[in-house]
A and B are shown apart, each in its own frame.
Chain A
Amino acid sequence: MQYVKVKVIKNSKVAAQIFELQVEVDLGHVKPGQFVLLYPKGCLLPRPFSIGDYVDNVLTIFYKVVGKGTRELTKLQPTASIYLLGPLGNGFDIPTHHINVIAGGIGIAPFFLLKRVADDVTLVWGVKTKDEFFGLERFKGWDIHLYTEDGSHGMQGMATDCLNTISKDTILACGPIEMLNQLIDFAISNNRYVQVLVEQRMGCGIGACRGCAIRRRAGGYFHLCEDGPVFDARTIVL
């Protein structure tokens, strides 16, 4: 883990409300599903972001503009700098055999790095409307299934519509809470190993403040920064 001021290489809009931020940083070894904290100007708390892609000391983060912190990030111009803490969190447990990936909206973000380490992957990606797709060309070689809620591209429906037909292999997933709740139900009722990457508000990122709690199915809480952000879907309640 390091805390460094990093230089912005690129920060541009790639889809509706979605930006691609590239910064220069030597993070050492990173795993898909790990995250970093960024410290936007004028914000008192850092904001957690999945590592989107990381190659040759260039870290890519895909972020959706949802509030004060992400609005501030859109103002970053190339050559500007921003503090970063990371890499943090556990990341996905990546099997060596075929993998199913289910992503909802910006929940695609952590899987660009997975593309660098896994070839035999079925990707199911659902968005509200086709303007929200981005970077599809980077998944070339994977078996890709696209869904839009309005039917503007691919199949009409949600990414989780695939659950009836999906193979028995490990599922890695990231997306909105409604989607993750469906996956939790699916994992429990079928006793399947589904790894879900969860979002939660965060204070410190290093286990100090206990702010990023999520409910543990067996009682008590997990902490996203210490125990996650990737969890066995059968063990959590969202």
Chain B
Amino acid sequence: MKRLEVQAFGVTFRNPILLASGTWSPRLNELYPLSMLGGLVTKTITVEPREGNPPPRIWETEHGVLNSIGLENPGIDRFIDKVLPELEQLNPIIIVSIAGSKPEEFYTLVERLNPTNVTAYEINVSCPNVTRGGIELGKDTTSLLDIARNLRELSHKPLIYKLSIVHDIDQIVPLLTPYADGFTLINSVPAMAIDLQTRRPQLGNVTGGLSGPSIKPIALYAVHKAKKLTHLPIIGCGGVSKLEDVLEFITVGASLVQVGSANFNHPLIGKELVEGLMENLI
């Protein structure tokens, strides 16, 4: 078992398989013990509750899943009081995904979460489905750098920045490296789909984020590129749905991987990837 252990951001992960933000719920623990995974990344939390985007919110494309959820979440108060105690029972490694529409919201979130037992923060500056604080924040390097500097001061826990392929990776990764502990690459890719019968978008929010097998080559490219720009550990994310995908991400330099929409297609995927690694690598 120890051979699967990964040391990253000063944390020991029992294996490199994490479940990505917004793709699992505690109910998955009814199907297999989530404690066997390397860790869990929560649905993105904001300071105030968010009700999310108008439906329809999800659509299957030919080789991917298109979504526009809009960061629906119960807000930090309810998260700490009601959600987190349940999550802590599931796996010792809980990475909390956080987002804000202004810099102060990131600071508030980190200050509120610092006294809890969560393992690390995944700073979501790459959500394609919100108008403020999402993917645009990652493009505004001045604000982003300011946030990163302040979070470095405030945070008692590792800071992992989740980036998008539409960000300028060449610029942003070296810029954030002095203030970060790692990166997650990539968030879902901005995309849309059309219903030809109605000539309307398939999503209520018009555009969304594409995930699944169609974005894996893009995610591999992003990890490969980022690896050359930073010494920090990278979490590969995007289209992981089988053992070979995990190995491909590790080959291009990822320390850990996140499994996302594959959880919808086969809820046991996390368990099977861990078992697959154990059978093949031990």
Contact = CB atoms under 8 A, between A and B. Distances in A.
B265 A45 contact: yes
A45 B31 contact: no
B213 A44 contact: yes
Contacts of A157: none
Contact of A203 (B43, B72, B213, B264): B264
Contacts of A83: 266
B51 A220 contact: yes
Contact of A210 (B22, B59, B65): B22
B210 to A, nearest CB: 11
A43 interface: yes
Given A39-B265, A45-B265, A208 B28 contact: yes
Given A45-B60, A203-B58, A204-B263, A209 B27 contact: no
Most chain B CB atoms below 10 A, which of A39, A85, A206, A221: A206
Contacts of B54: 213, 215
A208 B27 CA distance: 9
A221 B27 contact: no
Contacts of A204: 23-25, 263-264, 267
Count class of interface residues, chain A: 20 to 34
B264 A44 contact: yes
A117 interface: no
Given A44-B212, A46-B265, A220-B51, A1 B59 contact: no
A221 B72 contact: yes
B103 interface: no
Interface string B254-282: 00000001011111100000000000000
B33 interface: no
B75 interface: no
A208 B44 CA distance: 12
B56 interface: yes
Nearest to A46: B264
B268 A209 contact: no
Interface string B79-122: 00000000000000000000000000000000000000000000
B69 interface: yes
A2 B31 contact: yes
A160 B253 CA distance: 61
B64 interface: yes
A206 B25 contact: yes
Interface in A42-87: 43-46, 68, 83, 85
Contact of B55 (A2, A214, A219): A214
Contacts of A210: 22, 43, 52, 57, 69, 72
A211 B59 CA distance: 9
Most chain B CB atoms below 10 A, which of A83, A200, A208: A208
A151 interface: no
8 contacts: A2-B30, A44-B212, A201-B56, A208-B23, A208-B24, A210-B22, A210-B69, A213-B54
Interface of B: 22-25, 27-28, 30-31, 43, 51-52, 54-60, 63-65, 67, 69, 72, 212-213, 261, 263-268
Given A203-B58, A204-B24, A213-B72, 6 more contacts: A1-B27, A3-B31, A43-B60, A43-B265, A85-B267, A210-B57
